[in-house]
Amino acid sequence: MVAALGTLRELAHALEAGTCSAHELVRQSLERAEALEPALGAYLGLRAEAALREAEEADRRRARGAPRSPLDGIPVAVKDNLAIRGEPLSCGSRILRGYVSPFTSTAVAHLERAGLVVVGRTNLDEFAMGSSTEHSCAGPTRNPFDPERTPGGSSGGSAAAVATGSVPAALGSDTGGSVRQPASFCGVVGLKPTYGRVSRLGLVAFASSLDQVGVLARSAEDAALLLGVVAGHDPADSTSLPQPVPDYAAALSGDVSGLRIGIPKEYFPEQGGNAAVFERVRAAVAELVSAGAREVTVSLPHTRHAIATYYLICTAEASSNLARYDGVRYGHRSPRARTLAEMYRRTRSEGFGAEVKRRILLGTFVLSAGYFDAYYRKAQQVRTLIRRDFERAFEHCDLIATPTTPEPAFRLGERERDPVSMYLSDIYTVSVNLAGLPAISVPCGEVGGLPVGLQLIAPPLGEPEVLRAADAYQRRTDWHRRRPAEAA
Amino acid sequence: MPRAGSRYEVVIGLEVHTQLRTRSKLFSEAPVTFGEKPNHAVTPYCLALPGTLPVLNARAVELAIRAGLATHCTVHTHSVFARKNYFYPDLPKGYQISQYEEPICTGGWLEIEVPAAGGEEPQRRRIGITRIHLEEDAGKSIHDESLFGEGTLVDLNRAGVPLLEIVSEPDLRSPEEAGAYLRALRELLRAIEVSEADMEKGQFRCDANVSIRPEGSRELGTRTELKNLNSFRFVEEAIAAEVGRQAEILDAGGRVQQATLLYDPDRRRTRVMRVKENADDYRYFPDPDLVPLRIDPARIEAIRAELPELPEARRARFEAELGLLPREAAALVRNRSLAEYFEAAARAHGDPRAVARFLLRDLLAALGDRQPDETALPPEGLARLLRLVDDGRLTARSARDLLPELLERGGDPEALMRSRGLEAVSDAGALGGVVEEVLREHPGEVASFRAGEQKLLNFLMGQVMRRTRGKADPASVRELLLRRLGQGG
């Protein structure tokens, strides 16, 4: 099998030095993806022809001495809920079968402007709803460390593609942990930026107030490089932040001396959860402390309501966001309907999978007259309390450290019949989305041969700080260099 | 029509949707057009393609603020866009972006002129404005078997066009008041250039909430909603018909059911479209794709400073400063173009009351459907025409006769008067000769007049007028005749 690709940094050096061409890299990427694909299920579609053509153009630019950026010509993958002009946009759903987007998302447009070559669209839970990439109409993606386990989700395809080295990095989206949790399960780095840091234009909405485009890569340094490409203000997204984008890679000084790392006492229970996971995370914090950081205890009392709050808000927004899939203008339309009501019912019954239907039903209920105050309005109030918890905690620390998930990757099908247990595994990630904060998941060890992730959370726009701490950790450890056996 | 009027009090509240004068839609750069080919004035956002996002049109906000200030509303520095969720083929996103709990404007009023019976001066009344908010229009569903068999076609050109919804308090007490409110509102919106409010293009639409209650009762009756009233006449007719329908139900001892009705203008009856068992559940919630709308108070003040004079202020000024009668002032400000024309003509002429009378009596009749500023006669020309009358060189009747040509072709009124040979014969010399002639030829009538038959004066005047072919100024003729007859010779 063709070898795994190196990191963004390594590939950029190779292209600069002329030791390889973009065309070679993209071909290697495509060949590796194709070789792994039948078993892995990471991709929903490869753009072989277009990607190779774009790689040749990148090579010509570089030959002229005018590359678009140091990353010009490097292959990447994109979660299939980000629009690319002229490409199918499926969101892993039958209801979008046959749909081709006529426009490109801002995040992907930024990739193109930097010359990065999108080699394929990656698998996901339908409309990014799920934590296992099992809820895709194309079938599940498998965990590269254990094919009987899930890669996490919903950006499981992107995480598996990066972990197996068919691409050095990929874009995902994170509504309640959908970048960080699969990164943790697949032993890669996953960064969810501050809400509004990356434009949502062209990201198919699941829960608009929580959705954020994120990056998956093998190192914090690569995550910094890719975030620098896709971040920035977009007047076409009203929730986009206007602040200028700092040079994230330049923030990676390796220096964490004096950094105060907060440990939320509520997140490290005496009992429950997987003790080995907590042990790895504590060891990772200890590593940073030995590098000069300081550990402080903080409290996030309202995060015990985070799961309930999250599932009230995200289902409410989803029920409305997904109303447009009605069979009238595009995508699937049931051919068997005779009345309008029947067309809606059949189209949506046939087009959506079980998890999406479950969330639409929940969200419709949450917003209904008579329940709105008790559920949606109350959830918004608790959301404010959760945000304030973080604000208070950050008066005492610079970053907050938690496990990304309470347990390593679970088995495929294990939680299909018990959605609530699946929802509960989002315990450490969802409050970050509710508060709109930046957070990263960094590989910090293994339990039973499966990767474990350390989550670092910062105040709004604290991307340089989480990246610096994650990079400092990776300079001292090798966990991020561990590859799954068959992808080695 | 309602025998009910005497025993029941009518309570009406109106919801008006008026299309804002913007070049692009409320949340996308798609153009606002009329008569464009179906589905050609659309962007991916208008089609609700996956991944599209709304961006608020700042111009629409400015127009909403202007409308709020002109109706004495509180313009809120913080308001929220909400999603109104329902499924319909011409609603592409499956929700309409509107404002719900926190609209941009609340708590204002509009002054209307209540038509009065029997030649009395009209009354003026303030009708409360509950709220004004911004929202998107829906597209159009076309059910036309000749085009598409039994199917439905959808045109999304109109989807997302910016609307202002203006909701009145239930302060209106008759179909005529409802009509007066709508006319006043439409004129106001046009005067402040917020909306063209062209009803034929669907830019000004009205829903009416109607209920009746026994005279003297304070409790509101069960209301029904009349949808899609698209002309002033239909609004008044439909409300009258609905009042009649409700009165019949109550008279028969029944109860009015909450319902949505349509008006059938051919049969002059309202027809129940659907009965509301429960209130519709639109599952409103704040749109998470949009941040709350924050408006700088300084911006509100700047817009206030730029507002043109409003019809009611102008009316008050016409009465107080120009000395017009309330009826005259009200009639002039009903039409912005007429009011401005009047002011310019009055300034050029110097006697506002004389100008007002001529405008309301003669000019309006000659204008027909035209606006005065669309004609070839500038206000200064009108002033010159009236001055010819003042100077006794042109009779009022001749001035009226010259209007059609002046409006059509313009030109100098005096030159036109000469070329038509209409210069009044009013100087004592020329007229005196004619008077002497007439007296000479009718000695019998002269004698009878002197004997006390006063009405023969009219006969003699008619003779003089005939000989001058109407160019003589009647007042001068009368004066000359009386003087000569009084001399006894």
| Partner B contacted by A323 (CB < 8 A) | yes
The answer to whether the Cβ–Cβ distance between B288 and A317 falls below 8 Å is yes
Which residues of A fall within a CB distance of 8 Å from B95? 320, 323
Question: Chain B: residue nearest A210 by CA?
Answer: B288
pLDDT for res A6: 96
Peptide bond into A199 cis (omega under 30): no
| Partner A contacted by B45 (CB < 8 A) | no
**Distance between CA atoms of residues A222 and A467, nearest Å:** 10
Active site residue A79: yes
Tell me the residue range of the domain where B392 lies. 309-419
pLDDT for res B426: 60
| Partner B contacted by A103 (CB < 8 A) | yes
Both tokens assigned to B472 = 């003589």
Find the CB nearest A324 among B92, B281, B289. Answer: B92
- Give me the phi and psi of B455, to 5 degrees please: -70, -15
pLDDT for res B144: 76
The answer to whether the Cβ–Cβ distance between A236 and B53 falls below 8 Å is yes
pLDDT class for B449, splitting at 50, 70, 90? confident
pLDDT for res A184: 98
pLDDT in tens, A191-217: 999 999 999 999 999 999 999 999 999
pLDDT in tens, B336-360: 889 999 999 999 999 999 999 999 9
| Partner A contacted by B49 (CB < 8 A) | yes
pLDDT for res B7: 84
pLDDT in tens, A98-131: 999 999 999 999 999 999 999 999 999 999 999 9
B465 or A465: which leads in pLDDT: A465
Residues B319 and B340 in one domain: yes
Q: Is the pLDDT of residue B28 over 50?
A: yes
- Of all residues in chain B, the percent with pLDDT exceeding 90 is 62
Residues B206 and B346 in one domain: no
DSSP B67-132: HHHHTTPEEPSEE-EEEEE---TT-TTSEEEEE-SS-SEEEEEEEEEEP-STTPPPEEEEEEEEEE
Q: Which helix (H) or strand (E) holds A299?
A: none
| Partner A contacted by B50 (CB < 8 A) | yes
Active site residue A154: yes
pLDDT in tens, A342-357: 999 999 999 999 999 9
**Distance between CA atoms of residues A428 and A408, nearest Å:** 13
Running DSSP on this structure, what letter comes out for residue B101? S
The answer to whether the Cβ–Cβ distance between A364 and B283 falls below 8 Å is yes
B421 or A364: which leads in pLDDT: A364
Residues B199 and B151 in one domain: yes
Q: What's the domain count of chain B?
A: 3
pLDDT for res B278: 57
Question: Chain A: residue nearest B97 by CA?
Answer: A320
Q: Is the pLDDT of residue B1 over 90?
A: no
The answer to whether the Cβ–Cβ distance between A368 and B281 falls below 8 Å is yes
Running DSSP on this structure, what letter comes out for residue B269? E
**Residues, chain B, total?**
489
Find the CB nearest A320 among B53, B85, B89. Answer: B85
| Domain membership flag for residue B304 | no
A60 or B477: which leads in pLDDT: A60
Instruction: Give the amino acid at A364.
Output: T
| Partner B contacted by A173 (CB < 8 A) | no
The answer to whether the Cβ–Cβ distance between A324 and B283 falls below 8 Å is no
Return the residue matching tokens 């040079």: A247
Q: Is the pLDDT of residue A188 over 80?
A: yes
Q: Is the pLDDT of residue A271 over 80?
A: no
| Partner A contacted by B288 (CB < 8 A) | yes
Return the residue matching tokens 């409410």: A316
Residues B163 and B260 in one domain: yes
Residues B229 and B82 in one domain: yes
Return the residue matching tokens 């006794």: B392
Residues B414 and B439 in one domain: no
SS3 B47: coil
Residues B36 and B104 in one domain: yes
Both tokens assigned to B369 = 């459907």
Q: Pairing relation of β-strands B224-229 and B259-264?
A: parallel
The answer to whether the Cβ–Cβ distance between A236 and B95 falls below 8 Å is no
The answer to whether the Cβ–Cβ distance between B50 and A207 falls below 8 Å is no
Return the residue matching tokens 């386990």: A149
pLDDT in tens, A130-164: 999 999 999 999 999 999 999 999 999 999 999 99
Q: Mean pLDDT across the stretch A350-375?
A: 96
Find the CB nearest B291 among A105, A200, A238. Answer: A238
Residues B54 and B186 in one domain: yes
pLDDT for res B2: 44
Residues B24 and B128 in one domain: yes
pLDDT class for B474, splitting at 50, 70, 90? confident
Closest listed residue to residue B250, CA positions, set B206, B208, B207, B217: B217
Q: Is the pLDDT of residue B288 over 90?
A: yes
Instruction: Pick the catalytic residue from A178, A199, A240, A431.
Output: A178
Domain final residue, candidates B419, B444, B466 = B419
The answer to whether the Cβ–Cβ distance between B95 and A200 falls below 8 Å is no
Torsional class of A264: left (φ above 0), alpha (ψ -120 to 50), beta (otherwise): beta
pLDDT for res B433: 82
Q: What is the mean pLDDT of chain A?
A: 96
- Of all residues in chain A, the percent with pLDDT exceeding 90 is 92
Q: Is the pLDDT of residue B117 over 90?
A: no
The answer to whether the Cβ–Cβ distance between B51 and A99 falls below 8 Å is no
**Which residue of A328, A373, A383 to mutate against B (max B Cβ within 10 Å)?**
A328
pLDDT for res B419: 86
The answer to whether the Cβ–Cβ distance between B51 and A367 falls below 8 Å is no
Both tokens assigned to A442 = 């960094």
Which residues of A fall within a CB distance of 8 Å from B51? 82-83, 89, 101, 103, 105, 201-205
**Distance between CA atoms of residues B98 and B95, nearest Å:** 9
The answer to whether the Cβ–Cβ distance between A316 and B93 falls below 8 Å is no
Q: Number of CB pairs < 8 Å for A and B?
A: 98
Q: Are A206 and A260 in contact (CB under 8 A)?
A: no
Which residues of B fall within a CB distance of 8 Å from A196? none
| Partner A contacted by B54 (CB < 8 A) | yes
| Partner B contacted by A235 (CB < 8 A) | yes
Find the CB nearest B92 among A204, A236, A329. Answer: A329
**Which residue of B28, B39, B47, B49 to mutate against A (max A Cβ within 10 Å)?**
B49
| Partner A contacted by B184 (CB < 8 A) | no
Residues B223 and B108 in one domain: yes
Distance linking the first and last C-alpha atoms of chain A? 10
| Partner A contacted by B148 (CB < 8 A) | no
| Domain membership flag for residue B303 | no
pLDDT for res B486: 77
pLDDT in tens, A382-440: 999 999 999 999 999 999 999 999 999 999 998 877 777 778 789 999 999 999 999 99
Q: Is the pLDDT of residue B488 over 60?
A: no
**Distance between CA atoms of residues B238 and A430, nearest Å:** 55
Find the CB nearest A201 among B47, B53, B92. Answer: B53
Return the residue matching tokens 């209301």: B223
Q: What is the mean pLDDT of chain B?
A: 90
Residues B64 and B137 in one domain: yes
Residues B187 and B333 in one domain: no
Find the CB nearest A238 among B52, B281, B290. Answer: B290
Looking at CA atoms only, how far is residue B225 from chain A in angstroms?
21
Q: Are A103 and A59 in contact (CB under 8 A)?
A: no
Please report, for chain A, the start and end positions of each structural domain, with discontinuous segments joined by +.
Answer: 8-259+398-487
| Domain membership flag for residue B209 | yes
Domain final residue, candidates B363, B395, B419 = B419
DSSP B198-266: -GGGTSEEEEEEEEEEETT--SPPPPEEEEEE-SHHHHHHHHHHHHHHHHHHHHTT--PPPEEEEEETT
pLDDT in tens, B183-236: 999 989 998 999 999 988 899 999 999 999 998 888 999 999 999 888 888 999
pLDDT for res B26: 98
| Partner A contacted by B56 (CB < 8 A) | yes
- Which CATH number does the domain A8-259+398-487 belong to among 1.10.1740.10, 2.40.30.10, 3.90.1300.10, 3.30.70.360? 3.90.1300.10
The answer to whether the Cβ–Cβ distance between B283 and A201 falls below 8 Å is no
Q: Which of residues 379-438 of A touch B (CB under 8 A)?
A: none
